[in-house]
């Protein structure tokens, strides 16, 4: 592996949400929550776990509402370069930096600092996976986990279809992680088995929808122990966590762990379960004993972006590959993501993805690809991509940006910036959108993959975003 996994809230990104041509103004005012609209600001969520090495930050000031305006002046490229140039040249970002700023309304590039040169993106790569999932699957797409009768009448097979956010308890209709609950599945299955006169069963699992390649290029055991990711399988409880908490350690085999939990639930309902859970192939046309359904993809995408969950990102990339008729290895899933972006009109010739999350070694993205995806998501030509923009966390208020933008020089970004974060050792990136003080909507990306120190680099990219928010630059 080329880099140690000092994962820090996953790559830095800034995003402002609105429609494309003409901003689709009415939609933009509705689609952008709270501080990015004329609607009341949302109540801040409870504290969000911070990755190892993250900066705690200071309490965020009250956000200032800045409505998006189609008549707001566009920053002057020369003035923008004068304002951002010294920040992008900061030693804190190292000497390998790509950056770009694009006017969302017109698509005009306002700043280009090596924007076409590929750099390791860290978790900003999740922006691409989110767009591909929304495009290929559709925002309303759901995933169903089933319990079916096996070849033997006393065999129950848990069939995974890609939901890695199953709940161990009852399903929660208001949750994303835990929308589909194993308790509900066990209730249905036990009732069906009892009605058929079966009191003794063996539990099996079929997770063959996803490839047996479960660890990405460069992943190590420490990635599991530190809670950065779980082995990627076609079903998992809470993304394979061993206990609650974003960075809880992950199990070695999420599918078998889920099947083991399911077996215990069947025992609690009076059935005798023999042996340990094991893999098998479900019958081609099985008798369905019970089923539970995930949250829709648009909600899963938002969960993935706000929490920067690598396991969920990999599951989404595999679902894209399945729908595209490709194998579901890491490489094939990554290629399926890039292929889908090409269909959307994004030029991905200079982009390389090693996985769907940005955790693996080998990904390289130009900053321009990130902003091209964001501009496409804001366009009225692609309303299916809008959940990508609304799913990005708001600076200083939620998700991986809750504890950000508290340092001196960055407060102007609070509430004005939406961003996807992502960091690895030596890598800090930020990509998304920002509403300027005048109300102009800009998309931008900063990708630095030779940073000397993570905390200082995070503060540096936060300052870039905040200067964009505060600077009319005319």
Q: What is the pLDDT of residue 373?
A: 98
417 and 367 assigned to the same domain = yes
CA–CA distance from 436 to each of 63, 112, 170, 189 (Å)? 13, 18, 44, 55
The per-residue b/e assignment along 431-459, b for 16 or more CB within 10 angstroms, e otherwise, is bbbbbbbbbbbbbbbbbbbebeebbebbb
pTM of the model: 0.88
Q: What token pair was written down for 394? A: 């708001």
Give the domain-ending residue among 275, 295, 315.
295
Q: What is the pLDDT of residue 203?
A: 98
Give the domain-ending residue among 271, 295, 319.
295
The alpha carbons of the chain give a radius of gyration, in whole angstroms, of: 23
274 and 312 assigned to the same domain = no
**Mean model confidence pLDDT for the chain:** 87
236 and 258 assigned to the same domain = yes
341 and 439 assigned to the same domain = yes
**β-pair type (155-159, 144-149):** antiparallel
Q: What is the pLDDT of residue 35?
A: 35
pLDDT tens digit string along 150-199? Answer: 998 799 999 999 999 999 999 999 999 999 999 999 999 999 999 999 99
Neighbours of 159 (CB within 10 A): 23
Contacts of 417 (CB under 8 A, 6+ apart): 14, 15, 16, 394, 395, 401, 405, 432, 433, 434, 465, 466, 469
Domains contained in the chain, number? 2
When comparing pLDDT for 102 and 63, which is higher? 102
129 and 181 assigned to the same domain = no
- Please compute the mean of the pLDDT values over residues 311-321 and round it to a whole number: 98
Is position 77 within any domain? yes
**In sequence order, what are the beta bridge partners of 157?**
148, 204
Is the pLDDT score of 41 beyond 80? no
**In sequence order, what are the beta bridge partners of 15?**
418
Is the pLDDT score of 16 beyond 70? no
Is position 321 within any domain? yes
Q: How confident is the model at residue 406 (pLDDT cuts 50, 70, 90)?
A: confident
Is position 370 within any domain? yes
Residue range of the domain that includes 240: 144-295
187 and 55 assigned to the same domain = no
pLDDT tens digit string along 335-371? Answer: 999 999 999 999 999 999 999 999 999 999 999 999 9
Interior angle at CA 428, CA 424 and CA 176, nearest 5: 70
CA–CA distance from 372 to each of 145, 338, 345, 454, 462 (Å)? 35, 13, 9, 26, 21
130 and 172 assigned to the same domain = no
pLDDT tens digit string along 91-125? Answer: 999 999 999 999 999 999 999 999 999 999 999 99
88 and 25 assigned to the same domain = yes
pLDDT tens digit string along 80-91? Answer: 999 999 999 999
Q: What is the pLDDT of residue 30?
A: 32
Is position 3 within any domain? no
pLDDT tens digit string along 134-155? Answer: 999 999 999 999 999 999 879 9
Neighbours of 50 (CB within 10 A): 18
Is position 10 within any domain? no
Active-site residue set: 123, 126, 308
Domain of 57: which CATH number?
A: 3.40.710.10
Q: What is the pLDDT of residue 17?
A: 33
171 and 274 assigned to the same domain = yes
Helices (H), 196-353: 221-225, 254-268, 297-307, 310-323, 330-343
Contacts of 219 (CB under 8 A, 6+ apart): 1, 229, 359, 360
Is position 466 within any domain? yes
Helices (H), 41-176: 77-88, 126-137
**In sequence order, what are the beta bridge partners of 418?**
15, 433
Asked which of 16-20, 121-125, 132-136, 453-457 is least confident by mean pLDDT, the reply is 16-20
Is the pLDDT score of 38 beyond 90? no
Is position 14 within any domain? no
User: Exposed, middle or buried by CB within 10 Å (0-12, 13-18, 19+), for 130?
Assistant: buried
User: In the 8-state DSSP scheme, what is residue 344?
Assistant: T
Domain of 273: which CATH number?
A: 3.50.80.20
pLDDT tens digit string along 196-212? Answer: 999 999 999 999 999 99
360 and 461 assigned to the same domain = yes
Is position 11 within any domain? no
CA–CA separation, 122 and 136 (whole Å): 23
Q: What is the pLDDT of residue 439?
A: 92
Give the domain-ending residue among 251, 276, 295.
295
344 and 386 assigned to the same domain = yes
237 and 153 assigned to the same domain = yes
């Amino acid at each position: 592996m080329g880099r140690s996994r000092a994962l820090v809230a996953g790559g830095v990104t800034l995003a402002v949400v609105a429609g494309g041509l003409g901003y689709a103004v009415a939609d933009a005012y509705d689609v952008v929550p709270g501080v990015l609209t004329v609607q009341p600001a949302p109540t801040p969520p409870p504290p969000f776990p911070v990755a190892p090495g993250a900066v705690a930050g200071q309490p965020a000031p009250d956000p200032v509402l800045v409505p998006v305006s189609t008549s707001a002046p566009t920053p002057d490229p020369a003035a923008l370069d004068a304002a951002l140039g010294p920040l992008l040249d900061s030693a804190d970002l190292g000497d390998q930096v790509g950056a770009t700023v694009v006017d969302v309304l017109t698509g005009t590039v306002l700043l280009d600092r090596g924007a076409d040169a590929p750099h390791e993106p860290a978790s900003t790569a999740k922006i691409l996976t989110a767009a591909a999932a929304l495009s290929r699957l559709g925002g309303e797409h759901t995933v169903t986990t089933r319990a079916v009768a096996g070849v033997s009448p006393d065999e129950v097979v848990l069939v995974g279809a890609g939901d890695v956010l199953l709940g161990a308890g009852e399903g929660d209709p208001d949750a994303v992680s835990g929308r589909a609950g194993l308790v509900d599945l066990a209730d249905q299955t036990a009732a069906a088995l009892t009605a058929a006169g079966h009191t003794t069963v063996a539990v099996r699992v079929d997770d063959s929808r996803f490839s047996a390649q479960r660890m990405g290029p460069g992943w190590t055991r420490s990635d599991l122990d530190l809670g950065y990711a779980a082995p990627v399988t076609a079903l998992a409880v809470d993304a394979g966590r061993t206990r609650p908490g974003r960075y809880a350690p992950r199990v070695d085999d999420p599918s078998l762990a889920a099947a083991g939990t399911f077996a215990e639930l069947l025992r609690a309902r009076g059935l005798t379960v023999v042996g340990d859970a094991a893999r098998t192939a479900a019958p081609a046309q099985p008798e369905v004993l019970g089923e539970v359904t995930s949250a829709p993809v648009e909600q899963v995408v938002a969960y993935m972006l706000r929490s920067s969950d690598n396991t969920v990102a990999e599951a989404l990339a595999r679902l894209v590959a399945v729908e595209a008729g490709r194998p579901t290895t890491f490489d094939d899933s990554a290629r399926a993501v890039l292929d889908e972006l090409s269909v959307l009109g994004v030029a991905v010739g200079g982009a390389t993805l090693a996985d769907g999350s940005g955790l693996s070694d080998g990904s390289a993205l130009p900053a321009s690809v990130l902003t091209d995806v964001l501009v496409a998501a804001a366009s009225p030509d692609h309303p299916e991509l809008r959940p990508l923009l609304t799913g990005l966390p708001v600076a200083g208020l939620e998700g991986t940006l809750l504890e950000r933008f508290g340092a001196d020089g960055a407060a102007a970004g609070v509430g004005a910036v939406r961003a996807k974060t992502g960091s690895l050792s030596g890598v800090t990136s930020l990509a998304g959108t920002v509403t300027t003080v005048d109300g102009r909507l800009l998309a931008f990306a900063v990708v630095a993959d030779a940073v000397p120190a993570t905390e200082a680099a995070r503060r540096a990219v936060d300052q870039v975003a905040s200067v964009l928010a505060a600077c009319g630059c005319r």
